[in-house]
């Protein structure tokens, strides 16, 4: 006796009539966001995100023999750092922007890691509404808040 695997297309055709009709017009449904930060010194920023916070380089972009940008990952989160080329003058960095990262790991351990590697903890770990928070600032002034969910 042979068993036939059900394809995704077949399964969708069977289940679709059972699902409620989507509201029209359809809302925007995104899968992920990858913030791209324009930085003054991509090498310095890479060192901070990699060595201080623990991000891992996934891809690098070189131009003219120098580092132009890097894609970093931590879990399912991606952050892209690009060297500011200065073509539009000195752009303000980090103004009006805060990146929030939700994590399951111990935020106190991350705070200790940041301090031990020379990073600055702006707001020590604090607990609010069932989560514990840590806020740090990167070399360009971008504010990063890490929330440990319980």
Residue ranges covered by each domain of the chain: 32-86+93-149
- Residue range 32-86+93-149 forms a domain whose CATH class is alpha beta
3-state SS record for the chain: CCCCCCCHHHHHHHHHHHCCCCCCCCCCCCCCCCCEEEECCHHHHHHHHHHHHCCEEEEEEEECCEEEEEEEEECCEEEEEEECCCCCCCCCCCCCCEEEEEECCCHHHHHHHHHHCCCCEEEEEEEECCEEEEEEECCCCCEEEEEEEC
Q: Per-residue pLDDT for 92 more than 80?
A: no
Q: Per-residue pLDDT for 48 more than 70?
A: yes
pTM, entire model: 0.76
pLDDT (tens digit per residue) in 29-45: 778 888 999 999 999 99
Mean pLDDT over 56-83 rounds to 94
pLDDT averaged over the chain? Answer: 85
């Amino acid at each position: 006796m042979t068993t036939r695997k059900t394809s995704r297309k077949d399964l969708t055709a069977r289940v679709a009539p059972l699902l409620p009709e989507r509201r029209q017009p359809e809302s925007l449904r995104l899968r992920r966001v990858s913030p791209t930060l324009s930085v003054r010194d991509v090498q310095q920023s890479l060192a901070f995100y990699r060595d201080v916070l623990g991000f891992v380089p996934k891809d690098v972009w070189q131009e003219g023999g120098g580092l132009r940008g890097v894609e970093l990952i931590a879990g399912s989160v991606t952050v892209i750092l690009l060297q500011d080329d200065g073509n539009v003058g000195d752009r303000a960095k980090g103004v009006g922007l805060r990146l929030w990262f939700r994590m399951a790991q111990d935020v106190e351990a991350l705070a200790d890691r940041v301090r031990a590697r020379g990073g600055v903890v702006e707001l020590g770990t604090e607990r609010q509404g069932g989560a514990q928070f840590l806020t740090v600032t990167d070399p360009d002034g971008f504010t990063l808040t890490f929330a440990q969910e319980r």
